[in-house]
């Protein structure tokens, strides 16, 4: 179970903004409020789609939830563990793929995944079984011994997914996992996410591809201007657009912008 409660995070601005530039409403007193008030939850077996326009605060929210950043206010619970009070314990239960996560280019795909498994303290026999399972599931066996700096974007992304979940986490958080992928590579990752759902693993992912939300998600959270503006089931989200998920998204964003 993942519960996110009233997250708030601001960043100090490096320099004063140009007075002639149009200011973002989240700027003030030398700070930028990237996340102002975000709340949602995701139960076992659910997939939650985190949506919003560019700059809405999605990536910052996911990095807060994954304990890569510490919130200024609010908190989140991962299977009952408070990410602020016990970040190391929470981190052990999380598989996190950031949009900026890289691979060690001189290592092969398998070596990258094994390395991070060892960092998680996995014993060697379990690690090898888990690698075999993931490389089969993500269709990576043919590329297991290829250096990652020689891989395509799709292969790199699949290796990054394997690396993020090699320790068999209890919850999974993915930041735009299919961005830049071709249809076949994207399908493999979507099938992987559907399998996590069948295994009752709560999964949160951000995306700009609404067809992925329509296909996979049980719940939707929309963030705009650093604030949750919609948090409900996918069915309720569709109803906001008269049954069309694209119209629902545009409607929710326009409502917030007009407020």
Q: For residue 62, count CB atoms less than 10 angstroms from its CB and return exposed for 0-12, middle for 13-18, buried for 19 or more.
A: buried
Helices (H) and strands (E) in the chain, counts: 9, 11
| Judgement on whether residues 86 and 197 belong to the same structural domain of the protein | yes
Tell me, yes or no, whether 153 lies in a domain: yes
Tell me, yes or no, whether 191 lies in a domain: yes
| Judgement on whether residues 66 and 176 belong to the same structural domain of the protein | yes
Average pLDDT over residues 213-239: 96
| Judgement on whether residues 180 and 225 belong to the same structural domain of the protein | yes
Identify whether the C-beta of residue 174 lies closer than 8 Å to the C-beta of residue 205: yes
DSSP three-state, residue 228: strand
Residue 241 clears pLDDT 80, i.e. is over it: yes
* Count of CB atoms situated within 10 Å of the CB of 92: 14
Residue that finishes a domain, picked among 132, 151, 169: 169
The runs of H, that is alpha helices, within 24-85 are 58-65
Task: Provide the residue range defining the domain that includes 250.
Answer: 25-93+171-259
Residues 27-68: tens digit of each pLDDT: 888 899 999 999 999 999 999 999 999 999 999 999 999 999
Q: What is the mean pLDDT of the chain?
A: 91
Across 27-36, 100-109, 217-226, which has the greatest mean pLDDT? Answer: 217-226
How many domains, the chain? 2
| Judgement on whether residues 142 and 184 belong to the same structural domain of the protein | no
C-alpha distances out from residue 79 to 54, 177, 199, 202, Å = 30, 23, 16, 10
Rounded CA separation 199/203 (Å): 11
- Assigned token pair, 144: 């297991």
Identify whether the C-beta of residue 58 lies closer than 8 Å to the C-beta of residue 223: yes
DSSP three-state, residue 20: coil
Q: What is the pTM of this model?
A: 0.90
Rounded CA separation 117/126 (Å): 9
| Judgement on whether residues 259 and 211 belong to the same structural domain of the protein | yes
Half-sphere exposure of 106 (CA within 13 A, CB side): 0
Lowest mean pLDDT among 25-29, 83-87, 104-108, 196-200: 25-29
| Judgement on whether residues 192 and 118 belong to the same structural domain of the protein | no
| Judgement on whether residues 180 and 255 belong to the same structural domain of the protein | yes
Q: What is the CATH number of the domain that holds 209?
A: 3.40.50.300
Residue 259 clears pLDDT 60, i.e. is over it: no
Residue that finishes a domain, picked among 121, 142, 169: 169
């Amino acid at each position: 179970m993942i519960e996110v409660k009233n997250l708030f995070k601001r960043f100090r601005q490096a320099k004063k903004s140009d007075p002639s530039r149009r200011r973002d409403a989240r700027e003030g007193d030398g700070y930028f409020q990237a996340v102002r008030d975000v709340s949602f939850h995701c139960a076992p077996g659910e997939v939650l789609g985190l949506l919003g326009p560019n700059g809405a605060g999605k990536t910052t929210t996911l990095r807060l939830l994954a304990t890569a950043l510490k919130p200024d206010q609010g908190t989140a619970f991962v299977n009952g563990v408070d990410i602020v009070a016990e970040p190391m314990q929470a981190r052990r239960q999380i598989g996190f793929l950031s949009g900026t996560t890289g691979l060690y280019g001189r290592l092969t795909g398998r070596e990258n995944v094994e390395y991070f498994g060892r960092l998680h303290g996995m014993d060697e026999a379990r690690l090898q079984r888990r690698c075999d399972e993931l490389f089969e599931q993500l269709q990576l066996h043919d590329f297991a011994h290829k250096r990652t700096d020689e891989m395509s974007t799709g292969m790199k992304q699949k290796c990054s997914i394997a690396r993020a979940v090699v320790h068999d986490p209890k919850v999974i958080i993915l930041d735009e996992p299919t961005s830049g992928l071709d249809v076949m590579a994207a399908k493999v990752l979507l099938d992987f996410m559907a399998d996590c759902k069948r295994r009752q693993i709560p999964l949160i992912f951000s995306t700009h591809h609404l067809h992925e939300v329509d296909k996979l998600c049980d719940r939707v959270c929309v963030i705009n201007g650093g604030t949750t503006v919609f948090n409900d089931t996918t069915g309720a989200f569709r109803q906001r657009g008269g049954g069309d998920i694209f119209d629902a998204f545009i409607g929710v964003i326009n409502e917030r912008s007009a407020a």
